[in-house]
Structure formats: structure tokens, C-alpha cells
Structure 1
Amino acid sequence: MGIRGVFRSFSYALEGLRYALLTQRNLRIHTVMAAAALVAAYAGKFSRGEVVLLLVTITLVVGAELLNTAIEVTVDLISPEYNHLARVAKNVAAAAVLVTACNAVLVGILLFGPPLLKIVQALSP
């Protein structure tokens, strides 16, 4: 694959990301939360390791959401009428997003909890 092929591949990937952002409310919510977490990490002067953990967590959630979208669209294409197995496929894909989102909440508590607790304690009389 030449340089044109590489650029074409990136173009297709960005087209998919654009589609997902425009059509998937949860992906937009995850994106806003990710941006807020990164800003808070910067403001909180997180260590390099903490930022890496945050970036990996964000990537897992967004990646799972993108895969979920791809699976949902594919299932709808293949099986436009109701099918129990189509429903199972969609539910399992959604569960993957749920698992990564729960992990993100736990990582967020571990990373942001201690600094937030210090702020709350400092503000308490």
C-alpha cells in the first residue's frame, strides 16, 4: 500500500468516527467526559503514569463504543426484521461498552478521588 492508500485508510477511519459522533449520543457523552478528565488531570498535575492510565481507559471506552456501533449497524443491515440472535449480538456489544465504562468509573475514582478528598477536607470547617 502506497502513501495514497494510507491516506485513504485514514480518510475512511475518520469518516467512521464522524458518523459515530454524529449518530451516537453515548459516544458524544464519553468524548465530553474524556475531555473533562484530561483537563482535570492536567490541572491536577497528574504523573505521566496516571495520564497513561487515563488515556488507555479512554481509548478502551471509545473503542468499545465504536465497535458497538459497527456491530449494531451490521446487525441492522443483515437482519432488519426482529431476530432473537440479532438482539443477543447487540446486547453483548452493549455489555462490552458497559464493562469498559464501569472500569473507567473505577479508574476515575482511584485517580481523582484522593485529590478531590483533599479539596473537600480543606474546604470543611
Structure 2
Amino acid sequence: MGLNDHQSEWKRFSKSFLFAWNGIIRTVKHERNFQIHLFISLIILLSGSILSLSRIEWIILLFLIGGMLSLELMNTALERAVDLITKDYHPLAKAAKDAAAGAVLVYALLSVIIGLIIFIPKLI
């Protein structure tokens, strides 16, 4: 492999980060649900700082927040892909979008339950 091949690989690799960042920024700007999740995440991070969480509690919360935001990004991607394929109502398109939204809801509920388990004892 020559020097130009390595430079080309590095350029493609670095561009992939730019594309990912652009996807996150676009989602932050245009998706209300993502904005809500981001706002709640900031409140949780602030609350965790105030309540002096343990290292393991921080790790759990960061995984929950990262998972939630990642799942919301995937939900948005799936919705956009379905919309690209058809603007018309189709039962399979609806089923795909509903299932992706359902996955977000399941994870959000799990996150709330775990968050309550972590925060309630700190508040009592």
C-alpha cells in the first residue's frame, strides 16, 4: 500500500466522523423528540452532579443517556429512510416506523425506572 492509499484511507475515515457529526447536529436542530431527550439528559447530568453520584451510578446514567440518544438517532434515520421510499400511506411503512418508535419508548421507560432507582434513595 502506497502513501497515497494511506492518505486516502485516512481522509475517508476522518470524513466519516464529519458525516456522523452532521447527522447529530441535523437531528438536534430538527427533531423535537431528540431535543426533549437532550434536555432531560442535561437535567439528569446536573442532578447527578448536585447529588454526588457514585462512579457506578455515573457509568449507568451515561450508558442510559448515550443509549437513549443513539436509539433516537436510529429512529430518526429509519423514519427518514421510510419517508424516502414512500410518501404514501403503506401499512408496512407504518409498522416499521411504529416499531422503531416502540423501541425508543421501551428504552425510555427502562431509563426512567433505573433513574428512579438511582435518584430516589438520594432524595430521601
Give me the whole-angstrom Cα distance separating, in 1, the residues matched to 2:63 and 2:120.
18
Q: Which residue number in structure 2 is paired with residue 51 of structure 1? A: 58
- 1:31 aligned partner: 38
Aligned to 2:26: 19
Q: TM-score, normalised by structure 2?
A: 0.90
In the alignment, is residue 9 of structure 1 matched against residue 9 of structure 2?
A: no
What is the root-mean-square deviation in Å for CA atoms of aligned residues? Answer: 1.1
The one-letter code of the counterpart of 1:12 is F
- Provide the residue aligned with 1:93 in structure 2: 100
Which amino acid in 2 is paired with 1:46?
L
Structure 1 Cα separation of the partners of residues 117 and 79 of structure 2: 32
Q: Do residues 67 (structure 1) and 47 (structure 2) align? A: no
- Large movers: runs of 4+ above 4 Å: none
Q: TM-score, normalised by structure 1?
A: 0.89
Percentage of matched positions with identical amino acids:
36
1:110, 1:24 → 2: CA distance? 29
Q: Unaligned 5+ residue runs, structure 2?
A: 1-7
**Corresponding residue for 1:41?**
48
State the alpha-carbon separation in 2 of the partners of residues 65 and 30 from structure 1. Answer: 8
| Count of residue pairs brought into register by the alignment | 117
Moved more, 83-92 or 16-25: 16-25
Q: How far off is 1:19 after superposition?
A: 1.1
Give the match for residue 110 of structure 1. Answer: 117
Distance, in Å, in 2 between the alignment partners of 1:2 and 1:48 is 38
DSSP 3-state at the match of 2:52: coil
